[in-house]
Structure 1
Amino acid sequence: MTAAASPGLPAKMHALVREFIAAPGAVEDAVTEFGSPAHLVFPQVFADNLERLRAVLGARVPGFRICYAHKVNQSRAFVATARAAGIGIDVASAAELDSALKAGFGPERIEVTGPKGEGFVRELLGSGVTINVDNLWELERIAALAQTRVPVLVRVCGFSGTPVSRFGVPLARVDAVLELLAARRDRIDFRGFAFHLDSGEPAERVRAVETCLVLTERAYAAGLSPSVIDIGGGFRQVFTADADAFDAYVHALRESLMGRGEPMTWGGNTFGFHLDDGAVHGTPVFHKYANIVSADRMLADLLDTGLDSQGGRTFAQTVGENLLDVWLEPGKALVDHAGITVGRVEFVKETADGNTLVNLDLSRDAVTPADQEVMVDPILVPARAATGPNSGVVGVFLAGRLCLERDLITNHKVWLPRLPAPGDLVVFPNTAAYHMDLSAARASMHPVPPKLAVARRSGTFSVCRDVDWHEVH
């Protein structure tokens, strides 16, 4: 394809990150000092994301609490930034709890979510943290073991029109929950109902909100005093800088699957599409990359939605009138655009079918969780010593360093401004949300890429090891 015809997937990037990548020598200096590959995190972008969410809540509800979902990224710099900003933290394991405590979070600012075994439940009792209960067994163990009052939220699931979830107490079991809470109010400080939806569909979230408001009324009737509606996380990221370009790429991909135009996938991968009766059908596995609604706008829309069950009053009006606080546990929304991953080109080769492979010194699991495909274009940063001629735009597949066929970093063809050469750097944008940690492995005894923290002070960038970050850096 010519440069004009080459479909692209330009990534949306925070101005600070874009400036760092564009600064002469900045990326290369970082990996020269600390090694390649590497994950780079930007705490100042985290802080910007947080302020946008705070502004939305502050303008609409009298009381709210934001807890950073620690599981989204293990970065110490992100945790330290959250603590310095005065928000809470959501942890889902004993190790994450230890991380939060060592970072300086007091128990009153810690919420524990997710499924918990007997040992973890016992550890939490008497600690002062808020336990977001996942199931009836967990609540029963708290009631049986607690020696002092334990602050508790109860996560519920099974909302109308929402896929079945493995997390939360089914709505059909709420009567048993209310009975236990009322009977053991001497040991359980019930704060309210919670939900968390993986779906970004607004209608599903509205139905969950309305259901939790109804449950809150039932709790009042049972003699309880809930004061919180917890709406969880799951707020979408915005990956693409150009929705039209994304649509054009998907169109070209569908055409290529039909045998029209240049092949664009490795090994016949269809990304969830299927061919039937001469047409391409289905929803691609990378559909999340098509989102263009930011997390703060998504939150504002939810708070401003009129609720049929409340006579048309908005969600924000309803919680305000009933003296309820809104709690949420964003993870992806807080680290959106706050991290990049950098790898170095090791060699370039031609395959038997004529495709071009660019091998990097990292693996697929370093830039994407599980089986997800990264559908934004990486950025080629030529090495300082690069002297070769500019080949012009070229379509390539990026390959990982493991001796496994499946270690293709991109199973879709990526068009770069020129053919990379050994020593060049490739930057993957927006990898802070799960991409860095969720599937990280030490296959072939390769170490997990280190995390580095980047800050800009007085127009100058500085880079340090993530573990050495301090909020006053």
Structure 2
Amino acid sequence: MPSPNRGPGTPLAGARPFTLTALRHPVVSALLEDHRALLGSLLDGLGSPLHVVLPEIFEGNVAQLRQAFTDAGADVDLLFAKKANKADCYVRSAAALGVGIDVASAPELVKALAGGVPGHRIGISGPEKDDTLHALAVQHGCLVAVDSLGELRRLAGTARRARRPARVLLRCRAGNRPSSRFGLAAAERDAAVGLCAELAGHVDLHGFSFHLDGYCATERALAASEMIDHCLDARRRGLPSAALVDIGGGLPVRYVDPHLWREFLEQNGPDQYHQAREFKDFYPYGGQPAARAARAIMSHPVGGGSLAAKAARNGVRFVAEPGRALLDQAGFTMYRVQQVDDRRPSDGYAIVTVAGSSFSMSEQWFGSDYLPDPVLLPAGRTPGEVFPACVAGSTCLEADLVTWRKIGFPRPVRRGDHLVYLNTAGYQMDSNESPFHDAPLPRKVVLRLGSEDSPRWRLDGI
């Protein structure tokens, strides 16, 4: 594909933004192409921004990921990482499919239970959890990942008072991440296993977990292999229930075509952004799909065979905590254009201000920018000359940019137009939301395309 960007020495006013087209699920394409009037009515009636959530795509992702693990010969239970999206519809879908939930707070746990997920399918993560969360976890038989000796003792005390044993994983620092702030160091792990044996009437050790940032399949497979060894050591020390390894999340999502992504990285520079802002790190938008990564992890060679084979040989099962991977294509975010400040004569690009803010759709909490191009609606008008523009929120903050990158819109953007940001369900649409300026939090609309002529919709909520 020929590069649509300026060459060296071209004036800024002549710069042509790079086109980074987002991939679309067929359901999303059908909604945008055949049901624009409905989407426009929902946005106008319920306010901007508006999050559209698509549980049928979530359900399809569950099936694909389960099949990928099965193909690799691995016995894996899925826990949906609830922090990736607050919508209740995904919890309901998880409950219906027998998928568990990973939570890290008492309110998340209550919502998981209210959505129909039984306690034994709920995992509790997060460092140094408070006593209220411990008490709820013990009462409902949840699996608690313990981060320290102090937390293990507190949890045992809660279990003693409740007269119910706590189901426990010990979260350990993997050998390739010794400085992580999460988990037990080697000496602490050894002491914790001994403490579990002493407290056997109050603590039931089920296995081990770890925390990794990033998407390296090799690193995750090697860490999981270490945890299998820890299970075997715990059994030798009189803890026969140690037969579970939690590999966490870290399964990537592909947002754009990989060739397009590589081309973008080759030409990317400060001149592509408002105020020539420099971003040093991006999500790997053109990476491998989650199912392929899952197979790579389980097929990785460890000790003369694959990780999956090592686990099966030693009677160990896995737990995975995908969040973003189960939400791939399962939602999008819509904004209404409020104003267009055409600065092309002076700066070479316009500033499109939308009703809403970047708090509702942003990578800025990672010091980055959400890169896939938004879709401009209505699209029926005749395309004209490329209209370069960044997208700003309507707050009084200078840094409130929904998109810092200059987007090459196919025609001039006008007040009242709609911008659709695709594939925002995984962390983008609500992780950083705030009622700034006393603005209400955006609503979520649950849409199911199904086999009917018109999609069925409802507001999200249990």
The TM-score with structure 2 as length reference comes to 0.90
Q: Which of 338, 341, 348 is residue 340 of structure 2 equivalent to?
A: 348
In structure 1, list runs of 5 or more residues that go unmatched: 258-262, 273-284, 469-473
What is residue 85 of structure 1 aligned with on the other side? 97
Contact preservation (8 Å) 2:349, 2:387: no
Q: CA deviation at 1:158?
A: 4.0
Find the residue that maps to 1:181 and give its secondary structure. helix
Tell me which stretches of 4 or more aligned residues in structure 1 moved more than 4 Å.
Answer: 2-6
Q: CA deviation at 1:383?
A: 7.8
Opposite residue 111 of structure 1, the aligned amino acid is G
What are the superposed Cα offsets for residues 375-400 of structure 1, whole Å, 9 maximum, x if unpaired?
Answer: 1110001288x7xx743221111111
Opposite residue 22 of structure 2, the aligned amino acid is A
Contact preservation (8 Å) 2:170, 2:189: no
Contact preservation (8 Å) 2:353, 2:394: yes
Q: CA deviation at 1:52?
A: 0.7
Contact preservation (8 Å) 1:196, 1:234: no
Identity of aligned residues (%): 31
Find the residue that maps to 2:93 and give its secondary structure. helix
Q: 1:69 to 1:317 in 2, by over 3 A?
A: same
What are the residue-to-residue correspondences of 1:215-364 with 2, within 5 Å? 215-225=230-240, 226-240=242-256, 242-254=257-269, 257=270, 263-272=271-280, 285-291=281-287, 293-307=288-302, 310=303, 312-351=304-343, 353-364=347-358
What are the residue-to-residue correspondences of 1:120-139 with 2, within 5 Å? 120-139=133-152
Alpha-carbon distance between aligned partners in 1 of 2:390 and 2:178, rounded to the nearest angstrom:
35
Alpha-carbon distance between aligned partners in 2 of 1:26 and 1:252, rounded to the nearest angstrom:
38
Contact preservation (8 Å) 1:398, 1:409: yes
Opposite residue 126 of structure 2, the aligned amino acid is G
Q: 1:3 to 1:306 in 2, by over 3 A?
A: closer
Opposite residue 379 of structure 1, the aligned amino acid is V
Find the residue that maps to 1:166 and give its secondary structure. coil
Contact preservation (8 Å) 2:79, 2:123: yes
Contact preservation (8 Å) 1:8, 1:377: yes
Find the residue that maps to 2:276 and give its secondary structure. coil
Alpha-carbon distance between aligned partners in 2 of 1:332 and 1:423, rounded to the nearest angstrom:
31
Alpha-carbon distance between aligned partners in 2 of 1:264 and 1:453, rounded to the nearest angstrom:
35
Contact preservation (8 Å) 2:174, 2:226: no
The TM-score with structure 1 as length reference comes to 0.88
Contact preservation (8 Å) 1:61, 1:319: no
Contact preservation (8 Å) 2:218, 2:297: no
What is residue 180 of structure 2 aligned with on the other side? 165
What is residue 54 of structure 2 aligned with on the other side? 42
Q: CA deviation at 1:438?
A: 1.5
What is residue 178 of structure 1 aligned with on the other side? 193
Q: CA deviation at 1:294?
A: 0.8
Q: CA deviation at 1:41?
A: 0.6
What are the residue-to-residue correspondences of 1:66-77 with 2, within 5 Å? 66-77=78-89
What are the superposed Cα offsets for residues 391-444 of structure 1, whole Å, 9 maximum, x if unpaired?
Answer: 322111111111111011111111111111111100001111111221101111
Does residue 416 of structure 2 align to residue 423 of structure 1?
Answer: yes
RMSD, aligned CA = 2.0
Q: 1:125 to 1:3 in 2, by over 3 A?
A: closer
Q: CA deviation at 1:341?
A: 0.3
Q: 1:337 to 1:64 in 2, by over 3 A?
A: same
What is residue 437 of structure 2 aligned with on the other side? 444
Contact preservation (8 Å) 1:365, 1:439: yes
Q: CA deviation at 1:138?
A: 1.0
Find the residue that maps to 2:279 and give its secondary structure. coil
What is residue 260 of structure 1 aligned with on the other side? none
What are the superposed Cα offsets for residues 51-106 of structure 1, whole Å, 9 maximum, x if unpaired?
Answer: 01111223344633111111111101111110111111111110011101111122
Q: CA deviation at 1:190?
A: 0.8
Find the residue that maps to 1:357 and give its secondary structure. strand
Contact preservation (8 Å) 2:71, 2:295: no
